[in-house]
Amino acid sequence: MHISSLIHALSDGQFHSGSELGAQLGVSRTAIWKALDHLSEYGLEYESHRGKGYRLLAALDLLDMDVVKDSLSASVCKSVSLHHVLSCSSTNSDVHNYLGVDAPYTILFAEQQTSGRGRRGRVWSSPFAENLYLSMCFDWVKGTSELQGLSIVVGVAVAELLVEEGYQEVGVKWPNDVWLHGKKVAGILVELQGEVTSSWRVTLGLGLNTHMSPKGGVAIDQPWTCLSDYVDLRRSDLAARLVNKLVSSLNEFAESGFSSFIGRYAVLDVLIGRSVILHGPNVEGVVRGVDLNGALLLETTSGLESFHAGELSVRPL
CATH 3.30.930.10 residue ranges for the chain:
65-266
Task: Give the architecture (CATH level 2) of 3-56.
Answer: Orthogonal Bundle (1.10)
**Regions of the chain with pLDDT less than 50:** 316-317
Q: Catalytic residue at 120?
A: no
Q: Quick one: fold of 271-314?
A: SH3 type barrels. (2.30.30)
pLDDT at position 93: 94
Residue 142 bears catalytic tag:
no
In angstroms, the Cα distances linking 179 to 159, 200, 282 are 8, 29, 23
Contact assessment for residue 9 and residue 16, using Cβ atoms and an 8 Å cutoff: yes
What pLDDT score does 317 carry? 38
Q: By the 8 A CB rule, do 184 and 223 touch?
A: yes
**Neighbour-count burial of 100, counting CB atoms closer than 10 A to its CB (0-12 exposed, 13-18 middle, 19+ buried):** exposed
Can 29 be counted among the known catalytic residues?
A: no
Q: Out of 55, 69, 183, 184, which one is annotated catalytic?
A: 184
Instruction: List the catalytic residue out of 29, 69, 119, 183.
Output: 119
Q: Does domain 65-266 have CATH number 3.20.20.60?
A: no
Q: Write out pLDDT tens, residues 111-144.
A: 999 986 655 556 667 899 999 999 999 999 888 8
Pinpoint the residues of the chain covered by CATH 1.10.10.10: 3-56
